[in-house]
């Protein structure tokens, strides 16, 4: 007899402040910046797992909290077409993390808030999936990892791309030696948002460029470029050989003080490998929206290279170019399944499935993105931002937990 799936009861922390009623994947993709992470994540949670051939785990949204008001949480249910029956609504994060019916809290606030909000949930004994970038500083990331250990709960950074079947396949290919020894990875995740008179198209208050919300290209977009570098050059190394990388960065600042264009070279001297992570809010990886400019990611080995077509955060195609391939290129498509009934499917469901399996199996972190790796990536980003003289306010860089911090209470 088939076993019933392990179902995770999710509590959603933050409701996304941009009104949004579009319901199809296509419309959402063209307006990605207007898509709050919470909205996309919850819609993915509500997709039938069978539409992606998953039968061992399932998801249920049991509570939603907005730091603004209970009404805002109610409005969120409308946005995601989720019937209010059985979903508890809270006007504070504190109530959500103390709800005994919540198995795992999904933290989807701006980067500035992650440390305080995730810690609030961990201290209440909750498992946590926290949006990227994990924190603002490496020290905050270490404190979260330590708290999860102390409380014996699960913690993971929500870098959804790592859990795509495409990413898994590419990691397997590299591991199998399909392109020889990999010496270099080049990855770009840039979204052209150039506006009039030297401005960007984001308002100065927007989380993408607002230093009070730890905005900037690197923490928001460059993390995906670094993800590609790390999942190949670092993650695949045997545990005992993992080395802390050297970091060299060049940064252009926007008028708000956030980074608008950032290039980071990450070097692993022991393995003689290098990664180049690029990100920009001025120019785009995919300037014509048709990938005419070529791949967003190149994984280069002694026997060939794997090219991944962008966007780096949601790739659906890769190519294998062999040194002795005589001009033949293998093209592999990895479409993201859509739940036709709900008219949705973005790809965040795979990271949610990973959380469910870890919880089912009693694991406290994901082997695909261990906390130690999230911490090393935070160290690289912190160092890069330091080299580019980007400064964030003390209230968002402190590693001292304060349940009454405005970041937890929502005082704006
Ligand atoms: N994985 C992915 O593809 C994506 C991930 N993200 C990540 O998700 C996180 C949230 O991004 P996104 O959903 O675009 O953010 P939004 O700005 O749309 O929403 C953030 C939410 O955080 C809460 N919040 C609390 N305090 C503040 C404050 N002072 N200013 C603004 N918001 C506040 C609000 O919820 P409330 O009022 O209900 O408490 C708000 O709705 C970020 O870490 C981002 O990097 C974003 C987009 C895609
Ligand atoms: O995580 C993200 O992925 C898609 C981007 O457009 C968005 O800004 C970012 O937060």
CB of 29 sitting under 6 A from ligand 2 = no
Distance 226 CA to ligand 2 centre (A): 14
Indicate which residue's Cα is closest to atom 3 of ligand 2.
313
What is the pTM assigned to this prediction?
0.97
Percent of the chain with pLDDT over 90: 89
CB of 111 sitting under 6 A from ligand 1 = yes
Distance separating alpha carbons of residues 405 and 321, to the nearest angstrom: 52
Indicate which residue's Cα is closest to atom 42 of ligand 1.
110
Distance 4 CA to ligand 2 centre (A): 34
State residue 20's pLDDT score: 44
CB of 220 sitting under 6 A from ligand 2 = yes
Average pLDDT over residues 37-51: 95
Element (H, E) at 163: none
Distance 250 CA to ligand 2 centre (A): 21
Domain boundaries, the chain: 6-161+344-368+398-409, 165-333
pLDDT tens for 230-282 read: 999 999 999 999 999 999 999 999 999 999 999 999 999 999 999 999 999 99
Write the burial class of residue 46 (CB in 10 Å: 0-12 exposed, 13-18 middle, 19+ buried).
middle
Indicate which residue's Cα is closest to atom 9 of ligand 2.
220
Residue carrying structure tokens 């990450």: 266
CB of 120 sitting under 6 A from ligand 1 = no
Q: Phi and psi (nearest 5°) for 34? A: -90, 5
Average pLDDT over residues 122-144: 98
Would you list the DSSP string of 338-386?
A: -BTTTTB--STHHHHHHHHHHHHTT-SS-SSS-HHHHHHHHHHHHHHHH
User: Ligand 2, closest atom to CA 131?
Assistant: 1
User: Ligand 2, closest atom to CA 311?
Assistant: 4
pLDDT tens for 315-360 read: 999 999 999 999 999 999 999 999 999 999 999 999 999 999 999 9
| Same fold across 6-161+344-368+398-409 and 165-333 | no
User: Ligand 1, closest atom to CA 18?
Assistant: 18
CB of 163 sitting under 6 A from ligand 2 = no
Paired sense of beta strands 57-65 and 6-13, if any: parallel
CATH fold for the domain made of 6-161+344-368+398-409: Rossmann fold (3.40.50)
Choose one of 190, 217, 220, 258 to mutate for the ligand 2 pocket test, by most ligand atoms within 8 angstroms of C-beta: 220
Best CA proximity match to 216, nearest among 112, 140, 139, 288? 112
Please tell us whether the domain made up of 165-333 is placed in CATH 3.30.360.10.
Answer: yes
């Amino acid at each position: 007899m088939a076993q019933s799936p392990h179902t995770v009861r999710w509590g959603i922390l933050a409701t996304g402040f941009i009104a949004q009623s579009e319901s199809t994947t296509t419309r959402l993709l063209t307006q990605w910046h207007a898509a709050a992470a919470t909205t996309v994540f919850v819609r993915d949670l509500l997709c039938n797992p069978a539409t992606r051939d998953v039968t061992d785990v399932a998801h249920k949204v049991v509570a939603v909290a907005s730091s603004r008001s209970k009404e805002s949480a109610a409005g969120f249910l409308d946005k995601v077409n989720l019937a209010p029956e059985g979903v508890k609504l809270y006007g504070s994060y504190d109530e959500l993390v103390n709800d005994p019916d919540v198995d795992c809290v999904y933290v989807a606030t701006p980067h500035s808030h992650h440390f305080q909000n995730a810690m609030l949930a961990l201290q209440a004994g909750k498992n946590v999936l926290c949006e990227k970038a994990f924190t603002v500083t490496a020290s905050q990331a270490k404190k979260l990892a330590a708290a999860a250990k102390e409380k014996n709960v699960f913690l993971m950074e929500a870098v959804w791309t790592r859990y795509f079947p495409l990413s898994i396949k590419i990691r397997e290919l590299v591991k199998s030696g399909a392109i020889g020894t990999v010496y270099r990875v080049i990855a770009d995740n840039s979204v052209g948002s150039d506006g009039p008179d030297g401005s960007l198209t984001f308002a100065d208050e927007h989380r993408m460029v607002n230093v009070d919300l730890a905005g900037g290209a690197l923490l928001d977009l460059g993390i995906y470029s670094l993800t590609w570098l790390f999942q190949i050059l670092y993650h695949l190394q045997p545990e005992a050989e993992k080395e802390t990388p050297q970091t060299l960065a060049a940064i252009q600042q926007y008028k708000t003080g956030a980074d608008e264009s950032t290039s980071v070279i990450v070097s692993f001297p022991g393995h003689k490998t290098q990664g180049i992570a690029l990100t920009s809010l001025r120019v785009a990886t995919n300037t014509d929206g048709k990938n005419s400019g070529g791949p967003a990611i190149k994984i280069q080995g002694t026997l060939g290279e794997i090219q991944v077509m962008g966007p780096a955060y949601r790739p659906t195609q890769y190519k294998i170019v062999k040194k002795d391939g005589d001009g033949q290129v293998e093209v592999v498509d990895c479409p993201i399944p859509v739940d036709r009934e709900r008219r949705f499917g973005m790809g965040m469901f795979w990271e949610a499935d990973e959380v469910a399996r870890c919880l089912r199996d009693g694991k406290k972190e994901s082997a695909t993105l261990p906390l130690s790796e999230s911490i090393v990536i935070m160290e690289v980003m912190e160092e890069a931002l330091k080299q580019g003289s980007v400064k964030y306010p003390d209230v968002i860089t402190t590693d001292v937990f304060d349940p009454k911090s405005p970041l937890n209470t929502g005082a704006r």
